[in-house]
Amino acid sequence: MSDKKKILIIQPIHKAGIDLIKNNTNYDYEIIENIDNKDIKKKILECDGLSIRTANLSSELINISKKLKIISRHGVGYDNIDLKSSKEKNITLAITATANAVAVAEHVMFMLLNISKRKNMYDEAVKTGNFSNRNKLPKTIELWKKNILIAGFGRIGQSLIRRCKGFEMNVFVYDPFVSKDIIEELGGKKVEDLTEAVKSMDAISLHMPLNEKTKNIINYDLLKTMRKNCIIINAARGGMINENDLDKALNESLIFGAGLDVFETEPPKEDNPLLKNNKVFLSPHTAAFTEECMIRMGKETIQNIIDFFEKKLDKSKIIKL
């Protein structure tokens, strides 16, 4: 009887990650591209570990597994995984904690610059033969000396602050779990009250997990207290911004613009009003989709599984259930 561990890779990952397990004689692996529950049910029964991207890993699937010991999430969010069942079955949940910080931080800056510089409007003016109307176009906004609030100061938030300081922005940080000393060491100023802090911000970037406390944390009541030149970016988790409230605030010019990489429902429904709002800059949950990041995430996803079975998994990558 083989002692090899059976690893299920739910949704394809970069070849660099596959090669780590392909060349390791201690493991057998199988990739599932079709994320239909029926296919996963058949394969999850006897697997010892699995990797997963965005597919839903329900309590039903977790509970029918007989040998599952480690779930390695390709990414940092884990709201697609049933945590209660994982805890009850004593399954370890690991994330790719170090892989995507740079890519997501760069994506935030990409969105912030595109919105503040009115990229779409200016680009269209040239391409449609309206170059001579440049003096009639609405003016853009500088980032220099502007106040930005980073809400959530994990690895992505800490990567973002370095880029904001490069633009000489004044950086404020809201994170109840990170000390004032750490924030100040990286050039930021800690704020204790999110609802008060947003009133004096020119930009806000969300990097918090989605939970009962953060769901719809950005709503109309909060939006109407913000500066009219404020730009909100969410490249973390959909659901933290009430999308109907955001659309209303943008239409009423309560804020300058918004950038969303994530949505409450993905893909967003056709009747989502933000899809037709020209004051919002959208991307399809691809903030981490750089070539370099995909390589890092693929490797880290599989290495977490290997390290778990070799009893050397970095504790900072394990989610406390």
DSSP state of 4: P
Which residues of the chain have a pLDDT value below 70? Answer: 1-2
Q: Which of 124, 142, 266, 292 is catalytic?
A: 266
pLDDT at 86: 97
Residue ranges of domains in the chain: 5-99+292-317, 101-282
The dotted CATH code for 5-99+292-317 is 3.40.50.720
Q: Which of 155, 285, 296, 300 is catalytic?
A: 285
Is 162 a catalytic site residue? no
Residue range 161-186, pLDDT digits in tens: 999 999 999 999 999 999 999 999 99
* CB environment 163-180: b (16+ within 10 A), e (fewer): bbeebebbbbbbbeebee
pLDDT at 1: 47
Q: Domain 101-282, what architecture? A: 3-Layer(aba) Sandwich (3.40)
pLDDT at 79: 87
Is 285 a catalytic site residue? yes
Do domains 5-99+292-317 and 101-282 share one topology? The answer is yes
Q: Which of 14, 107, 237, 296 is catalytic?
A: 237
> Residue 311 in contact with residue 319, Cβ under 8 Å?
no
pLDDT at 77: 86
- Cα(155)–Cα(160) distance, integer angstroms: 9
Residue range 56-69, pLDDT digits in tens: 999 999 999 999 99
pLDDT at 2: 64
pLDDT at 51: 98
Is 14 a catalytic site residue? no
- Cα(30)–Cα(49) distance, integer angstroms: 11
pLDDT at 15: 96
pTM of the model: 0.89
pLDDT at 36: 76
The β-bridge relationship of strands 49-52 and 257-260 is unpaired
> Residue 182 in contact with residue 155, Cβ under 8 Å?
no
